[in-house]
Amino acid sequence: MAEISSNVSKQQIILASSSVYRKELLARLHLPFISITPNIDESPKEYESPDQTAIRLAQEKAEAISLQYPDAIIIGSDQVATLDGEQIGKPGDHHNALRQLQSMRGKTVIFHTALCVLHNHAENQHHQIQIENCKTIVQIRNLSDAELNAYLHIEKPYDCAGSAKNEGLGIALLESVQSNDPTALTGLPLIALTSMLRNLKVDFFK
């Protein structure tokens, strides 16, 4: 949970995620929030494009938590990485991460980071949904097996799609990043999120 700061929104904010990276990003806004893990199936559907998968899962995460919390602002986010049109998942272990980085080196990887902000209105029993997909184009450096292996031993990014933590040493694996939202690659696009929260009259500077 984020530290409670003096910048307090009267509306309860819930992050529908167990991701430590998303919690750290949301905490930058100095708003009180709680995080709850949504229990959903995150498997992509057949014939679903990567951006459609990310958007659907972001919305499903928010909606799953909304069932338990009336009159709350709920934030759902999901990220899908693709290489040559194929989705890249979380490697899980060192062996899979090394194979993933070897397949990516010298190539372009596209990250779709979808954001859904859902606002429940308990009194009139309806909710407002805002959805956006933030696309990030990443060029990976053409590094040797020894360099990739050494990186993995240092940072162990086995829970990250793409096998690299761009907020850490993983930035050394990247040659360039193109995005309208610099935090999207880490997992929660804060520029898009602050716009959505402002639409809901959340005051960041109170």
Active-site residues, by number, are 78
For tokens 């003096």, the residue is 6
**Residues 6+ positions from 97 with CB-CB distance below 8 Å:** 91, 152, 157, 158, 163
Structure tokens at 145: 């097996």
| CA nearest neighbour of 75 among 33, 104, 106 | 33
Measured distance CA(155)–CA(91) in Å, rounded? 13
For 37, the token pair is 């893990």
What backbone torsions phi and psi does residue 120 show, to the nearest 5 degrees? Answer: -80, 140
